[in-house]
Chain A
Amino acid sequence: MLQTLQLYRRLIGVQIRSQMQYRLSFFVEIAGTGLIALLEYASLALVFARFETLKGWTLGQVAFIFGLAELSFGVMDLFFSGFDPGYFGQFVRRGRFDQLLLRPINITLQVLGSKFMLRRIGKIAVGVGIVVSAVGMNPIDWTPLKVLLTGTVVVSQVAFFGGLFIIGATISFWTVESIEAINIFTYGGSMMISHPMHIFPTILRNFFTFIVPAIFLNYYPALYILELPDPFNMPAFAPFLAPLAGLWMLFMALVIWRFGIRHYQSTGT
């Protein structure tokens, strides 16, 4: 176990050092990922003056879950970028995944260590900024439980998004060409989770409640922390299901991933 950790640290160390080689392009890329996150948020925040609410939610309330999702997705992308379907798909297509399989080390660890997207720091920073400004905009009555829940939500969302990436990566074993459709899982899931769930059509919301339990990772914790009424009459413990939902997603993803590896056939290149 200790050896595994050490190996992971080495793999990541190599990644970090190589990405820091070109300082200027490194900082440009950090600014770039930050800008994407900022502009996406701005596109929503700036129109609030004309609309006032997002189906009853104020900008501060939306910003709270939007920021948490940005922050968590950024942190996840740091650690799980080896599984990023866009990147991993190419990895498989070029046969580099076959090289990893030949090494006598756990394959999941190798993929985890194969990429560490340091430039996502830009996105994380913007996410933190949005959360901080959201806390300023909402008169939240902070209790120790609420603070703990907020932290738990971030960790759970990291696990959840990580799960989505792993599932996306597994799908690319079979359809190396349809990477764009996998974006529905990853970026689609993140777009859903950064908006209040009650704005989406029932069928979509049910999918993200009962099949992919995203609703417990943003919407319900936010309802509790911001003290908003629950429009769907879930049990009172629903806001606290976040860690379960996150771990469940990651666990299921690893099961699917193992299945994928067992049935993996090389592309032959």
Chain B
Amino acid sequence: MRLFWELTKISFQRHLTYRAATVAGLVTNFFFGILRASIFVALYDLQTEVEGITLQGAITYAALGQALIGYLHMFSWFELMNTVYTGDIASDLLKPMNYFSFWLAQDVGRALVNFLLRGVTVMIGYAFLFDLYWPSGLTHISAIATSMVLSLLVSFSWRFLINLTSFWTPNALGILRFFFVLSWFFSGFLMPLRFYPDWVIRISYLLPFPHMMNTTMEVYLGVLQGPEIVLALLNQVLWIVGLVAAGQLVLRMGVRRLVILGG
């Protein structure tokens, strides 16, 4: 466990140094968030509440989405794939640490930096521009925090799993991109999932993506109440267990056939 936190710390420090990238990311988050919020304002027009989400809630949704992208890192992650192609994976596999934890530790460090520098800043910035919805009460806030941590775990274990396809194909980039496009839509990043027709919602919940973002947003906005929250969190846990187990299984199959060329 100490090894895990050491790796997290190193990754945290490494990501802290990417200052230019952080500032660029923030500027982008602000701009696109304002565009998305404008679209919500235009859609609501004279309506005050749609599917349990008020206009204020929808604007908060746009802000939250931008605040969480950096933290969740859902739309691109090719690091594990790259180590398979460069051969660096050989030394990573030899490390006295579970391979999944080895990457998870680093992702936690990355996520922490992005939560603090981008997530918090984005929310404070939007608070100046818009009248955002803020959660209140210890139970609500701890439910949000729990869901956020679970979101990261769903996001990471999914990214870990799909990166493993690089064991089987010499060019996994296209496959990974395809999956990242799906998560863009089905995670609820573009629109809250409950705005879609029922058949789209049903398809979404057959996939892991809603549990990466949509759930946390619904918990935050108070759309889910009491037992619904508990159920949603349990659902996230189930997906994590499933994805981690699948990751371990696929990894074991992949390692057996992995050939690393010397060099």
Contacts and interface: CB of A to CB of B under 8 A. Distances in A.
A and B pair up: yes
Interface of A: 22, 25, 28-29, 31-32, 35-36, 39-40, 42-44, 46-47, 49-51, 53-56, 175, 177-181, 183-184, 188, 191-192, 195-196, 199-201, 204
* Main SS class of interface, A: helix
Interface of B: 20-21, 23-25, 27-28, 31-32, 34-35, 38-39, 41-45, 47, 50-51, 171, 174-175, 177-178, 181-182, 184-185, 190-191, 195-197, 200
B50 A50 contact: yes
12 contacts: A29-B177, A32-B181, A35-B178, A36-B184, A39-B184, A43-B190, A49-B197, A51-B45, A51-B50, A54-B43, A196-B42, A199-B42
Contacts of A39: 181-182, 184-185, 190
A22 B176 CA distance: 17
Contacts of A47: 43, 191, 195-196
B177 A32 contact: yes
A188 B35 contact: yes
Contact of B24 (A28, A40, A178): A178
A178 B34 CA distance: 20
Contacts of B23: 178, 181
Given A35-B178, A36-B181, A188-B32, A177 B47 contact: no
Q: 5 tightest CB-CB pairs across the interface, nearest first?
A: A199-B42, A43-B190, A55-B42, A181-B24, A178-B24
Given A32-B174, A200-B38, A46 B50 contact: no
B174 to A, nearest CB: 5
Contacts of A50: 50-51, 195
Given A188-B28, A199-B38, 20 more contacts: A29-B177, A32-B174, A39-B182, A42-B185, A46-B197, A51-B50, A51-B195, A177-B20, A180-B25, A181-B23, A181-B24, A181-B28, A184-B31, A188-B32, A191-B35, A192-B35, A195-B39, A200-B35, A201-B38, A204-B38
A177 B177 CA distance: 22
B146 to A, nearest CB: 28
B51 A180 contact: no
Contacts of B45: 51, 53, 55-56
Contact of B200 (A25, A46, A188): A46
A200 B197 CA distance: 26
Most buried by B among A43, A44, A56, A178: A43
Contacts of B38: 199-201, 204
B110 to A, nearest CB: 15
Contacts of A199: 38-39, 41-42
Contacts of A25: 171, 174
B174 A178 contact: no
Contact of A180 (B24, B171, B181, B185): B24
Contacts of B43: 47, 51, 54-55
A47 B185 CA distance: 13
Contacts of A46: 191, 195-197, 200
